[in-house]
Chain A
Amino acid sequence: MTSNLHYISKKRRVKEDKRFVSGTGKYIQDVVLPNTKHAAVLQSPYPNARILSIEKAAAEAIAGVQIVLTGEELAEHIDPIRLGLKLPEVKWYPLAVGTARYVGEWVAIVVADNPYLAEDALELIEVDYEPLEPIMDPEEAFEEKSRLVHPGHGSNVLYHGHFTWGEVEDDFAMADDCLSFRARWGRSSTVPIETFGALASWDEGTEILDLWASIQMPNFVELLSSTLRFPLNNVRLHQDVDVGGSYGVKRGIKHSVLVGYLCRKLRVPVRLIEDRLVNMSSGDAHGPDRIFDTNVAFNKDGIIKSLKIRVLDDAGAYPGRGPHQLAKPISAIVGPYKINSVDYEAISVTTNKTGQVPVRGFGQAPTNFMIETAVDKVARHLGMDRLEIRRRNLIKHDEFPYEIPSGTKYDSGDYHAVLDKVIDKAKYDELVKRRDTARKNGKWAGIGVTTCLEPSGGNNIFEYLMEPGAEITTYMEGCEVRVDPHGKITGIMGTTTSGQGHETLFATILGEDLEFDPDDIRILHADSLNGPPTRSPVASRMAIMLGSSAAGAAQKIKDRAMKIAAFNLGHPIEDLEYSEGNVFLRGDPGQKLTWQEICFIAHRSYHKLPAGMDPGFHAENVFQVPGGGKLPDEKNRVQIYPCFSFQAHIPYVEIDPGTCKVEILDYVVGHDCGTVINPDIVRGMMIGGIAHGIGAALFEKFSYAPDGQFLTSTFADYLMPSVYEMPPVQEVEHCTPSPLTSHGQKGSGEGGYLGAPAAISSAINDALAPLGKSIHELPMRINKIHELIMTESET
């Protein structure tokens, strides 16, 4: 697949890196307009409290303070922020109205001449609260009938869905055996080093609200405009802002509503940059927080027949789009395995915690952790090797496209080949000896095994599964390619970028298909009013969607060049060949039109254009999600994502019996995301995803005390992997092209995060197996392992 390629799959510098290393990246904090004012927010110290009064005169009296705004005042002028689910009585405003529902919720906002003054003013605002008893535990929240986070809603249950695909009860009845377990995914997130920020400016002359934000979010402008009660085309989001990491979570809608409202009210640009405390406690950036109760049916030979999954997810006080993270994993609900049927009960509850947002993988990482836990437990129950049970259950290379019980077809793959490569690379037999030697020497040593999927390409059809009526059957991505009169190429994309290297991706594909050096191709991020349609870089989708869109646009450019050449050379298109922009007669290269000539004709010489061709030289292309476009059938079966990348992970860990500290000493990962566009980018996202996964597996958790206080508001409390926590990672690549995309590419942005937590858990459980112990709760911190060791052995 890669043999004839010039730029795709080649090691090449990444376009974006030059500005990043020279300190000239343009992040939200670097965007400053004349006379910009600065906002700071007052936060609730209570997890649940009625707001009786807010005294703000003293704060407003400070010279340089422009306004102190409360939720009651704001709510008169805006609508509640629309939630992902239709929950009319769960009203989410940027500032608390009447009741504060979690520690850190914003109660008032100050705008002042500089950020220091704004924070001074916060100290002078006096709020009288009537504390109420919070509800913090998701299982209690589910059962609770009177202590309600949103009393008007009538319960704490935001979503309760139940799906059955296939003959689950029959499969359980006929299986040799079954087992059940509970697995818990902790409330972690991706926590970018850049906090969220937004800057807004209202122009009364044009009646346009200009917004700059470190945003990565579909529907952002639509949500913003509807909340502010503006027509959609009054809002212009500038998407040329570099986003300092996101991985799903940069969705500061309430921040943006506030600056959008305030800049218009005050007639000055207003910006709000989260500090770290605000980011951690109230930036709407916490991830899934899940309890899985799973029952798995299997035969004595290790063949897994069916799964019954009940998942309870804690969405926090304001659910946003969080609950939908229960639905996307339906696209790979059986993982890479041939499991015959599935029962899936999904519940989302509200509690007095910060709201949940989408995190890298949109719920797939917790689901993969649960599925892999199931596979390992069956292997342990049967005394079967964990590699062998996977070999027996993995879908085989010749079975693609493979349709899973919930109706999604996996596009392509060679799972056994990837697994074998990883086993070779890890020198598995030697690794087993190493583990056993370490065990003899008193260490608790373990090998992890995980094989899992990365659904990629994005498709909102899972919304319909949660809420029939949401008839969204496209998740398209557009682009425009312009060729100027001098022959230079510019690609225009419609979204921000947050480290994924979209400019490199776009330029590489244009360069490959049009046969120009990608370094000479300029890529621009249009604003939301003049740009092509986009659904934003979520769902590991940009290589698939922007990549295929770019290839389609390149083809249109090429077709146009051929038509102009055919007309001017007087030969039919079929007799012409395209090479590096020039078009010549096959067999007589002397008869040709150069790229420069074609570009000049297109822009300047109407008399040399074929009849009916408009002058100019540009092409738009919008790419629809392959295999999408359909609603679910009556059995709730539907194609959700188009492409499925595969990963196999084998980490090796040792645990110090004295301290219970887990050390990851080696890590081998095999990865098949089809055709790789830029190898350095894909490798980086894979390894970076593993780092996120190590964090989620061992360290990271947003913790709340039982009384609702938030305990992890700094980087000293919320622990993330430093370079010392990263093991050496050996990678093996494999390429099974997708038949559905322009160059066979699949997604890779969610990367190692989708497998690493499961793999580390597998390794730790292998290490603890000789002690008769197991643990299925993330993060598996030192203290958790210690507590486990101190308990009586399992039978």
Chain B
Amino acid sequence: MSKLEIAVTVNGKKVSGTVEPRMSLLDFLRSEIGLTGTHMGCEHGVCGACSILLDDVPVRSCLMLAVQANNHSVTTVEGLCNDDGSTGELQDAFRDAHGMQCGYCTPGMLISAHALLEANKDPSVDDIKEAIGGNLCRCTGYIQIIESIQLAATRKVEAGSS
């Protein structure tokens, strides 16, 4: 099968690759550039484990082809870490409120939560539910995830006002 050249900005860095047109963006991120933080859950767009930001909008990387990301920017869970690799504010809030168990859905949850908090500094519980309504978690029953996002929002507000 013929291959196509693509150039994608991933977590702020320019990445290029040669891919089959049928390769999913998820497989490209995981297998071609080694960012394994994004997870395959259902491969039909329901569970949200593979969520990434495409030009700052959450999308399912299992439902996109890698070639569709050509000349776009992608943020994965690895991109939410600080530059030195330490965990970022949102990630710390998930740690402090234990917003996970097995960790498999966590990257997708973080991506959805990140997009929410970028757009809405003071989200209500309903806002949070809407943001993660497309991310399935089988471990937590969601409540500690909601609390993690609330904690992150509160800290952001406090940091902004101090």
Using a CB–CB cutoff of 8 Å, the interface residues on chain A facing chain B are: 13-14, 16-25, 27, 29-30, 116, 190-195, 242-247, 273, 275-276, 498-501, 680-681, 683-685, 687-692, 714-716, 720-724, 726, 728-729, 752
When distances are taken between beta carbons in the complex, the residues of chain B under 8 Å from A247 are 138
Complex Cα gap A168–B18 (Å): 73
Complex Cα gap A498–B138 (Å): 12
B residues 56-89 near A (Cβ < 8 Å) are 76-78, 81, 85, 87
| Given A17-B98, A116-B23, A715-B47, also A684-B103 (CB < 8 A) | no
Cβ 8 A contact of B144, one of A21, A22, A687, A724: A687
Complex Cα gap A687–B76 (Å): 28
What is the minimal beta-carbon distance from B93 to any residue of chain A, in angstroms?
9
When distances are taken between beta carbons in the complex, the residues of chain B under 8 Å from A243 are 102
Cβ 8 A contact of B107, one of A23, A116, A687, A714: A23
| Given A23-B37, A716-B44, also A17-B103 (CB < 8 A) | yes
| Given A29-B39, A247-B138, also A716-B46 (CB < 8 A) | yes
Do B41 and A194 touch across chains, with their CB atoms under 8 A apart?
yes
- SS of B interface (majority): loop
B residues 89-115 near A (Cβ < 8 Å) are 91-92, 94-98, 100-107, 110
When distances are taken between beta carbons in the complex, the residues of chain A under 8 Å from B103 are 16-17, 19-21, 25, 242, 244, 499
| Given A276-B42, A499-B102, A714-B42, also A691-B142 (CB < 8 A) | yes
When distances are taken between beta carbons in the complex, the residues of chain A under 8 Å from B49 are 193-194
What is the minimal beta-carbon distance from B6 to any residue of chain A, in angstroms?
17
| Given A193-B137, A499-B102, A723-B129, also A18-B95 (CB < 8 A) | yes
Cβ 8 A contact of A728, one of B97, B104, B143, B144: B143
When distances are taken between beta carbons in the complex, the residues of chain A under 8 Å from B139 are 245, 499, 684-685, 688
| Given A21-B110, A29-B39, also A500-B101 (CB < 8 A) | yes
Total A-B pairs, Cβ < 8 A:
175
Output the nearest chain B residue to A719 by Cβ-Cβ distance: B46
Cβ 8 A contact of B102, one of A30, A195, A242, A275: A242
B residues 104-162 near A (Cβ < 8 Å) are 104-107, 110, 128-129, 132-146
Of A30, A246, A722, chain B has the most CB atoms within 10 Å of the CB of: A722
Do A726 and B87 touch across chains, with their CB atoms under 8 A apart?
no
Interface residues on B, range: 35 or more
Complex Cα gap A724–B141 (Å): 10
Complex Cα gap A691–B128 (Å): 18
| Given A688-B101, A716-B46, A723-B133, also A14-B141 (CB < 8 A) | no
What is the minimal beta-carbon distance from B99 to any residue of chain A, in angstroms?
8
When distances are taken between beta carbons in the complex, the residues of chain A under 8 Å from B20 are 116
Complex Cα gap A18–B87 (Å): 8
Using a CB–CB cutoff of 8 Å, the interface residues on chain B facing chain A are: 20, 22-23, 30, 35-44, 46-47, 49, 76-78, 81, 85, 87, 91-92, 94-98, 100-107, 110, 128-129, 132-146
| Given A22-B77, A192-B102, also A691-B140 (CB < 8 A) | yes
| Given A116-B23, A724-B129, also A21-B106 (CB < 8 A) | yes
Listed A/B pairs (18) with beta-carbon separation below 8 Å = A20-B100, A20-B102, A21-B77, A21-B110, A22-B77, A22-B78, A116-B23, A242-B104, A244-B104, A245-B104, A246-B102, A273-B40, A276-B42, A684-B98, A688-B101, A722-B134, A723-B135, A723-B146
Output the nearest chain A residue to B82 by Cβ-Cβ distance: A22
The list of the 8 closest CB pairs from A to B, nearest first, reads: A23-B37, A20-B103, A499-B102, A244-B104, A691-B141, A499-B101, A680-B98, A715-B46
Do A191 and B87 touch across chains, with their CB atoms under 8 A apart?
no
Beyond A25-B103, A501-B101, 11 additional contacts (C-beta under 8 Å) are A17-B98, A22-B81, A22-B87, A27-B39, A276-B42, A691-B138, A714-B42, A715-B44, A723-B128, A723-B133, A726-B143
Complex Cα gap A688–B141 (Å): 4
Cβ 8 A contact of A23, one of B47, B78, B98: B78
When distances are taken between beta carbons in the complex, the residues of chain B under 8 Å from A14 are 95, 98
When distances are taken between beta carbons in the complex, the residues of chain B under 8 Å from A722 are 133-134, 136, 142
Do A690 and B36 touch across chains, with their CB atoms under 8 A apart?
no
What is the minimal beta-carbon distance from B149 to any residue of chain A, in angstroms?
11
Complex Cα gap A244–B140 (Å): 13
